Amino acid sequence: MKAFTLWQKRMQGPRGVEVEVSRASCESLDILLENLLPLTSVERRRMLFVSTRGSWCAYFDNGWRGTDAYSTISYLAEMIGCRGGRMLYVPHSLDSQEGTQPGRYGAVALEIFSAQKTDFVNTERSIAVAFDGKKWAFSEAGAKQCFEQVDQYANRSVRSRFTEAMLEEYLMALGIDAFKEDFYDPENAFLAEKKGPMAPATKEFSLSEVQASW
């Protein structure tokens, strides 16, 4: 938390925003995540760092479209000198390719960040399948990991090249049981909050408002 707090205070101070960090403790993860409400667009205002039963620390923010961990985790991995990761799983819930009905474009992604610079910032490995509004697209870059099912990447069905099940297996190989609630330790968490001016055009949303848009 010290590294994150120092970084954010340096970034937010010039715009008159203070970053307050407090200990958060709840009996369950779902109640703990309520500390992130209301959700916001444009600028993330609340961030949670949650201990796990393993050697990893989980990160969540209050973005209305879900947590955007890329900049935070990649930066901290390099700053602290450790490994970081970002996972994404969005079920494909649109009835039409054009997105004219409520729902979300599906995506499955995994990024691993290194403590050292790589060909692309400090991204060690990235794998993703996502629906771009017209078709499914697959991408992979960086150093392949020993646990990967590389034969799957040649599947004729693009959507099946990297699935939710594969993501879960890859995470387990890294020691991350991300889809099990008891992997997280909600009684050992920290909440960081920005206090002060919001970025222009930032809007706040209740959880029910966001869910209704899906």
Q: pLDDT tens for residues 18-58?
A: 999 999 999 999 999 999 999 999 999 999 999 999 999 99
Percent of the chain having pLDDT more than 70?
96
Q: Higher pLDDT residue, 126 or 93?
A: 126
pLDDT of residue 113: 98
Q: How many helices (H) and strands (E) does the chain have?
A: 5, 10
pLDDT of residue 94: 76
Confidence bin at 98 (pLDDT 50/70/90): low
Q: Is 121 left (phi over 0), alpha (psi -120 to 50) or beta?
A: left
pLDDT of residue 95: 61
**Mean pLDDT score of the chain, rounded to an integer?**
94
pLDDT of residue 133: 84
pLDDT of residue 33: 97
Residue 107 has pLDDT above 80, yes or no: yes
From CA 122, how far away is CA 114, in angstroms rounded? 5
Q: In this predicted structure, which of 22-26, 59-63, 169-173, 208-212 has the lowest mean pLDDT?
A: 208-212
| CA count, 13 A, side-chain hemisphere, 210 | 15
Does the pTM exceed 0.75? yes
Mean pLDDT (whole number) for 179-185: 97
pLDDT of residue 213: 77
Instruction: Specify the DSSP class assigned to residue 28.
Output: S
